[in-house]
Structure 1
Amino acid sequence: MRINILNSTTKEGLAGNFGENMAKKGYSQYTTGNANENRQTSKINLYGLKEDAVEVIKKDFNIDDVEYMSEYNEKFEVEVILREDRDFVY
């Protein structure tokens, strides 16, 4: 599963930190970047995965706001947008 993790906060390095922690859970194929979305809570967009994957993703990523996108994304299946409700995990 390919994951794109976007940091939409002023916390430099948050996406990388999140990715490192997801890799410990077996999600090792990830890229990181920045986003300019104006929301307070983190969100996950799922592309082309079966709908039953939603509950597993919610639990593993500890993010409740998950939207199932019916279209296919050629670069990744999961997009995580980190917002101010997330902090570094050590």
Structure 2
Amino acid sequence: MSAPAASVGHPGRCPLWSDPAHQAAITAAYDSLCQALTGPIAPLRLVGGRGSTAPLAHRVRELGRLARASAQPERAALLRWGALPVAVRHDLLAGWYGRAA
């Protein structure tokens, strides 16, 4: 079985959902991803091939819609986190906890 999405590259480590700094970083990363969705190469970047680890564009938008509708900042951060590609999650975790050994 694969590792949970929150701990990719950092076993046992995940965002602190109630931490405003983590929420802000996740939101900023999500907003950057949404900007990439509107670019001319977005279909290539987000659909990729069969082995792509990037989320599908419609999934990114749906998770964002659910996050905006949520009255709970922790839940909104979790939904946006689910829309982020693994590499972006890994970079955020590395920024918060340092690089995995």
TM norm structure 1:
0.30
More strand by share: 1
Kindly name which structure, 1 or 2, has the bigger radius of gyration based on alpha carbons: 2
TM norm structure 2:
0.28
Give the structure, 1 or 2, with the largest relative contact order (CA under 8 Å, sep 6 or more): 1
